[in-house]
Amino acid sequence: MENNYQNPYKLKIQRGCMITAYMLINAKQGKLKIVSSALNKLDEVDEVHETYGRTDIIAKVIVHNQDELRSFIQNRIQIMEGIRDTETLICLDDA
């Protein structure tokens, strides 16, 4: 059976009316996989990459506007179990 579901966030970014941000996320010790899995389940998160270095996870986030980004960070990310700290980089454009 073919899955015809298309994420509405991904459709809108194709039309150029969304904000893209990259979140640099550090997980608490032993919580990397739990945080990565939880991030992958969020509609606003387009990509999740576990990394080596100062940041444990890089997540690509796509939202409609800065208010939605603020709400997403405050109400979904910062309260997530296993996250130690975050830094958000807002893209100027999708060049």
Residues 18/91, Cβ–Cβ less than 8 Å: no
Q: Would the pTM count as exceeding 0.85?
A: no
Distance in angstroms (rounded) separating the CA atoms of residues 37 and 59? 11
Residue 1 has pLDDT above 90, yes or no: no
Residue 64 has pLDDT above 50, yes or no: yes
User: What are the residues whose beta carbons fall under 8 Å from the beta carbon of 17, sequence distance 6 or more?
Assistant: 64
Residue 45 has pLDDT above 60, yes or no: yes
Reported for 68-76, long-range contacts at CB under 8 A and 24+ positions apart, including other chains, are 68/19, 68/44, 69/19, 69/21, 72/44, 73/23, 76/42, 76/44
- Residue 55, pLDDT score: 97
Average pLDDT of the chain is 88
Q: How far is CA 50 from the centre of its chain?
A: 12
Q: Residues 33-42: what's their mean pLDDT?
A: 97
